[in-house]
Amino acid sequence: MTPKPKGPVTLGVIIGNRDFFPDKLVGECRTDLLDAFQKAGINPIMLPESATKLGGVETFQEAQKCAELFRRHADEIMGVLVVLPNFGDEKGIAETLKLARLDVPVLIQAYPDDLNRLDVARRRDAWCGKISVCNNLYQFGIKYSLTTKHVVHPSDPSFLTDLANFMAVCRVVKGLRNVRIGAVGARPGAFNTVRYSEKILQRNGISVVTIDLSHILGFANKLTKDDQSVKDRLEAIKAYTPTGRTPDDKLVQIAKLDVVLNDFMQEHALDATAIQCWTSLQQNYGCNVCTSMSIMSENMLPSACEVDVTGTLSMYAMQLASGSPSALVDWNNNYADDENKCVLFHCGNWAKSFLPDIEISTAPILGTTVGEENTYGALAGRTPANPLTYGRISTDDPKGIMKAYIGEGMLTDDPLNTFGNRAVAQINNLQGLMQYVCRNGFEHHVVMNASRTAGILKEAMENYMGWEVYTHQS
């Protein structure tokens, strides 16, 4: 499944050239590219035809010109596309990327030859040239991605898919290197599973902003139902989901908490949050925060419960890859005796996209210890059949590394008679996956996204972020 576009992506473009091949191939290439960019929603930064021979890059002087152009647009460029209409100059391309100092994903494309045009006037030899370019980038320590086909014309449907996937890789890499996550409250004492290393995250460009839950609750308690900000949030909540049997005073409580959380996110320019909910919020404030978390996740500001910071990081990575919301779930139950199906569950904070029958309710399991009347705000709803990408990012403190696992499957419409947010997942070799999760110390939380984007996530996290990534083979 091709990721949903999320606005135009700016790519630097290098057209390789080599002087003993026909120059007109470079000119034809530019026309082909502009057509492909228009279809893909790409804003290209490329040398004009007047700057070098038809805008191609061959000599060191041309590499300098192209690199200087890229540096001027460094804040915009999210990735670089290298195009070989002929063999190309391997050193010129490598020198351009070295001098530009962009540190962004790079995609290598090469043109196919026409079997009837292998004469001197029309041959390309880009099949061979691509190998040489990749060899040079490898020597220079520059990471790069490849098209599905070794050589492919820009008008080929597979290249347009490659471009869309590459744009998603660029979004994931840029997002992960700059993400800011709010950790609201302390990790619940009983949940060692959601421990994480702020220091390992920071080394990877991921910032965590912490705040004590008492500050959030203190500010919320100072608000009243007559404050305009509370009235506004209450209307937004009612517009977002049916409120079921939730009492009015509980809805006001939920709205006040929502106001403060939104203020906290705006003050610190946060992209995501992880919130202490079990069980301090219910005991000290009297409601669940699930509704607010669902609204944030639906609006592409993912929010995870139990202060699962790397869980919300996983949610963020998946939404960058797919352009759609993610949800944090528990690997929760077997599904009868089907070894390739399981029940995904949480007491109720999934984005609305997963819950066509969404409704504000309570959290019955949590209610057995804190009183069900203190758990209004949890959402109820069943996720229907959908494609599934699942996965989890984690900090492995003993090894001092970032690690992840990812895979694909299906969400099904199989019968499921229970409460809360719930879904049935079908994953080939699910037993093998659970063996891997358990043997490698991953958390009981996993993230789901209604897409097929495991390949994009693997390329971004393993190739460009340098993380240890396991891809489950179904």
Residue by residue, DSSP assigns 134-174 as HHHHHHHT---EE-SSSS--TTSHHHHHHHHHHHHHHHHHH
Give the pLDDT score at 8: 85
Mean pLDDT by 10 residues, the chain (474 residues): 71 91 86 95 96 92 97 98 94 97 98 87 90 98 98 97 98 98 95 96 98 97 98 98 97 98 98 95 96 98 97 98 98 98 96 98 94 97 98 97 98 97 98 98 98 98 98 88
- In the prediction, which pLDDT does 24 show? 83
Element (H, E) at 326: strand 326-335
In which element (H, E) is residue 273 found? strand 272-275
Q: What is the pLDDT of residue 5?
A: 55
User: C-alpha angle with apex 305: 299 to 307, nearest 5 degrees?
Assistant: 115
Question: Quick one: which of 133, 258, 239, 112 has its CA closest to 184?
Answer: 258
pLDDT on residue 389: 98
pLDDT given at position 6? 63
The secondary structure of residue 211, as a DSSP letter, is: E
pLDDT score of 368: 94
The pLDDT assigned to 25 comes to 87
Provide the pLDDT for residue 2: 57
